[in-house]
Structure 1
Amino acid sequence: MNQKITITIITLNNEEYIKGCIESAWKVADEIIVVDSFSTDKTRKIAKNLGAQVIEQSYLGDGLQRDFCVQFAKNDWILNMDADERLDGQMIKEIQAINYTEAAYDAYAFRRKNYIGSRWQRVWYPDYTIRLYHKDRCRFAPMIIHTSLATKNYQRLQGNIIHYSFKDLSDCIIRADEYSKLGAKVLFENNRKVSVWEPAVRGLVIFLKFFFLKKGFLYGYDGLTASLIGALRSYLKYAHLIEMRQNAPSSQQK
């Protein structure tokens, strides 16, 4: 490795995942910083026992929380991870091979393998995500959920982030509803107008995208499930938005 790397992880009640994440992270990092939103389980204890620096901070939103970590990093290059993520062998080799001193890019993106339980959802692949970046050149967008690094000067690499996205199908459906509510809240706060047909149209478009354009039909049960989950999440986002607008005082509906 040409330069030392800091890995940052934001957590909340991730005791079943954090050990594997940190053990994976140490393969490329010389410093790991965990910013925890006051977990009530053993997340902080496990992280400390594995050598991570642990800082407590109330949740600021996805983007702001990830950026909050940066101030504690001693290195210029940062790899941001979630507690339920791991690095595969190819990703480790690519990170170690980068000449950071002469890097022409501000950041690097990796493919992500998303799982429901033990099943890799190929229809969601490659799901590129920018995670390795120079802390003085990039910032996360200040979004409540599913933020991304705000940079155009990045390179896609071929290594994979192994992402244990959901424990099982029930967890997937529950969180689809939770995430869709958060997404709807953002739209509502931005006074986004929505028609009665938009949830169905949005859901159908996402289903067609995953099942046909991304060839989900080739993956049998997994392809159909992933396509339907994507459609459900999109449908619920706009359905929740309609509900929020209907329940809001008349002054907020304009």
Structure 2
Amino acid sequence: MTPITGVVITLNEEKQIADCIRSLFRVCDEVIVVDSLSQDDTVRIAEAEGARVIEQAYLGDGPQKAFGVPYASHDWILALDADERLDDDAVTCIQSLGLTDPSTAYAFRRKNYVGHHWIRAAGFYPDSVARLYNRTQAGYEPKKGHAAVKAPKVEPTGTHLHHFTYHDLKHWIERINQLSSRDAWAMKDRGVPASNWAPALHALTATLRKLILKGGIFQGSDGMTVAMTTAFRAYMKYAKLNELYENERVNRQA
């Protein structure tokens, strides 16, 4: 089997990181953890599980995920988030891949969970993400917001990752608060302007997309929950973007 390096970024992931590293070691020869200066036991646990830890203040999603890649011993990189695990079918698939074409990245279908409940509604499944790639021809785009792997070719494997997205609905809302702050910061960095209309407009667009285009209106409470939380995140990231500009203006005048 072609050697693979696993890479994962963390911030206060003491409850998740051990299982993530163990999952990566099912197919990887080494695991690199890029930690954003965690205040809990993430680093200690990661090292105890056999990972190499590199500490780096958070640079944004894409840059942070790319930061550990030059430290890898191998060109083939398997990137997981701390709350992701390889399903058995993905392990079998990866072990059977020849990995002879560095221009091809491989995508997996994520099973997104809230607690123990697998959410299939409104586009939550199949949620295809490229995770296995060769660093000589592919890598994460340099976006500070949510970033994806860019490669000349992406081949779907049809196999799965378990994505333990949220512990429960309370955690879902807490994560929206965190992620919308990250999104607002990234948008401001890109020069996206403030707009009083943007929060409501994007929330409405997100609602229609999830309920109508993704069929959430026909998918019961899961479909409605996905639509409402997606709309809430869209609203809050643009509202927070406006707040960033307002705070900047006030600070200049002070």
TM-score norm. by structure 2 comes to 0.90
Distance 1:39 1:190 in 2: 27
Contact persistence 2:145–2:186 (CA under 8 A):
no
Distance 2:161 2:167 in 1: 17
* Cα 1:201–1:31 shift into 2, 3 Å: same
Distance 1:221 1:29 in 2: 39
Q: How does 1:161-180 map to 2 (within 5 A)?
A: 161-180=161-180
* Cα 1:240–1:111 shift into 2, 3 Å: same
Name the residue aligned to 1:96.
Answer: 95
Contact persistence 2:102–2:137 (CA under 8 A):
no
SS in structure 1 opposite 2:161? strand
More displaced stretch, 20-29 vs 37-46: 37-46
Deviation at residue 57 of structure 1 after TM alignment: 2.2
Q: Deviations over 1:16-72 (max 9, x none)?
A: 111111121111111111122222222222222222222222222221221111122
Name the residue aligned to 1:117.
Answer: 115
Deviation at residue 6 of structure 1 after TM alignment: 0.8
Contact persistence 1:105–1:155 (CA under 8 A):
no
Q: How does 1:84-163 map to 2 (within 5 A)?
A: 84-101=83-100, 103=101, 105-123=103-121, 124-163=124-163
> Which structure 2 residue ranges, 5 or more long, are not aligned?
none
Deviation at residue 181 of structure 1 after TM alignment: 2.4
For 1:216, give the aligned amino acid.
Answer: G
Q: Deviations over 1:174-214 (max 9, x none)?
A: 22122222222333333323543332221122112112222
Cα root mean square deviation, aligned: 2.1
Contact persistence 2:5–2:31 (CA under 8 A):
yes
Name the residue aligned to 2:183.
Answer: 183
Tell me which stretches of 4 or more aligned residues in structure 1 moved more than 6 Å. Answer: none
Distance 2:146 2:191 in 1: 20
For 2:211, give the aligned amino acid.
Answer: F
Deviation at residue 15 of structure 1 after TM alignment: 1.1
More displaced stretch, 184-193 vs 21-30: 184-193
For 1:239, give the aligned amino acid.
Answer: A
Contact persistence 2:138–2:152 (CA under 8 A):
no
TM-score norm. by structure 1 comes to 0.90
* Cα 1:183–1:37 shift into 2, 3 Å: closer
Deviation at residue 132 of structure 1 after TM alignment: 0.4
* Cα 1:245–1:44 shift into 2, 3 Å: closer
More displaced stretch, 189-198 vs 221-230: 189-198
Percent of aligned pairs sharing the same letter: 41
Number of aligned residues: 250
Deviation at residue 78 of structure 1 after TM alignment: 0.6
Distance 2:222 2:5 in 1: 35
SS in structure 2 opposite 1:122? coil
* Cα 1:104–1:33 shift into 2, 3 Å: closer
SS in structure 2 opposite 1:110? strand
Distance 2:197 2:229 in 1: 19
> Which structure 1 residue ranges, 5 or more long, are not aligned?
none
